[in-house]
Structure 1
Amino acid sequence: MTTLAQLKPRRPSGRPVWEEKPSRLGQLGKGTVIAIIIAVVVVPLWVVVVTSLSSTETINSAGGYVFLPREFNPSAYIVIFQGGQVTDAVLVSTIVTVIGTAVSLSVTVLAAYGLSRTGTLLHRPILFYFLLTFLIYPGMIPSYLVVTGLGLKDNLLALVLPAAVSAFNLVVLRAFFMGIPTELLDSARIDGAGEFRILFRIVLPLSKAVTAVVGLFYAVGYWNTFFNAVLYLDRNDLQPVQRVLQMFILAGQSPTNAGAGTVVHLPGIGYTAPPNLAIKMAVVVVTLVPALIIYPFVQRHFTKGVIVGAIKG
């Protein structure tokens, strides 16, 4: 009697299709797709950087954005960093990012650890409160009334406190903490360790990957903060760099000491005035550089921190 397994055709190698070596056509197709994706990401960045380092003549001859560099002209960067509004904005964004990331990471770690220990006081109501924020958001007007009612108008804390805790990051950390064996924590308690000692000496060292990724999420969020600055900050000296970028590029305003026509002296070139487009692209580069510098150091933790942290528990 012939069975179904005998009638089913077998592959020559006897291995499943997903274990087979890809064909040349398949490799070529994958390489083409990857090359297109890389080009879509890299080419705009290349154009922005090259344009920011170009002179007025080069930009005029190219009709706008420059793809092929002809000279090295850093006058746009000299103009925006000679003590004007862009320099102040970079300093403000750096302060907000450092302080905000430290505050958010501390609060999120403490809350996630407390909520990962089932059976603690008011565990379920507090967890439900955090999860409810996924579905219900208070809106712009109530948030504005709360922030202004607390006296945070024209205060850098208005960029930190409203975004201090992300429910998504808290859930990711909580899931990872719940995956740590309870026997390990119970043995530490038997030896006399308190909750804070367990958290800082056992839990956090085992959670470096997910903590680094959550810290990166917070840092990028604070560096890119924009809308809260529009709502809560009216003073020009407190504007973050993303807000300055919006005013300079979208609204057409020129930040103080960063307008076209400012003359700078470059060795070997002489006195030159950077074009307005080069200054705009230089501000864009300034906003991108910190994330490009930090990300490679955290990238190796990305998959382990997010995927494992989201699945465990």
Structure 2
Amino acid sequence: MDTSLVSLAQNLEGREWPLRGPDEKPSFYIELDFDQLLGQLAMSGQPPAQADHLIDILKETLAFDDPFGDMIVQSEAVAVAENPLVKNLAKLKIPGEFPVTLTTLSPETLAFCKLENLSTLGEFAFSAQRMASSVVVGGDFRALLNALSHVDERTLARFIPFRIGEKGLHYIEGLAQAVSSQPAAIQAALAKRVMQTLPKTTQELAGTVSPEALAAAQTAISLRSTILRLHCGEEYTAMMKDIASGANPRTMVAVLADPVIEAVVADILKPETAKPREGFFARLFGRGNK
């Protein structure tokens, strides 16, 4: 919006805008909150009432532009629907609203996605291909982009809770990624806590983890599991019914093919009432009641 406020006010045939200058355009004010707006006007010697006048100018101007709004929205909707990566997401029954923060993309790639306002897989799919043609991208950003382009299920399963040979997202794989994204020592400590048999070197590695660090990791995984349930709700509900009917969580997690990760994920799946209580010293030394 580069038209001067003076011209906009004149076009509306209402009160004129009292300030002149190169900065007196909507773009100068549009990012200010109301208090900042009042402060800026006060520095220019204007009373608070001018804020209402400015808002009226912008609202009236927007009303003239609005007939084009539906056209733009429809055009964008068609572009999204025709995007081949978005189509591949739909084909795999992967919800476009799944947050990129729940993927295993590196911190650097997640920071880049945040910078580019790519907060969901759908936004990633729609924008990443266009971005890759104008910006040099590599690493796991490029890997996920290629996996979506070519429906490479094995690579997709590295980054999102996807099960090779099936459709949709899966809660168990999501939990496994939450656990495996932790440092190796934390993974070992989590496995030791649930009495998983570990090699001596792995037990020693687990012993290097402080109770505070272990508790922080458990909190992070718990938070992630809660968010995952929002996207895998039907599967989670069905699993909980099966467990309540006597199904063994350890059997459910066999698809992970990693005994350490399986043990930790199986423990997360157990209802709280089925888990042994832990006292202060058990938590301190990483031992639960048998």
TM-score tier (shorter): under 0.3
TM-score by length of 2: 0.18
- What TM-score does the superposition give when structure 1 sets the normalisation length? 0.17
Higher relative contact order (CA 8 A, sep 6+): 1
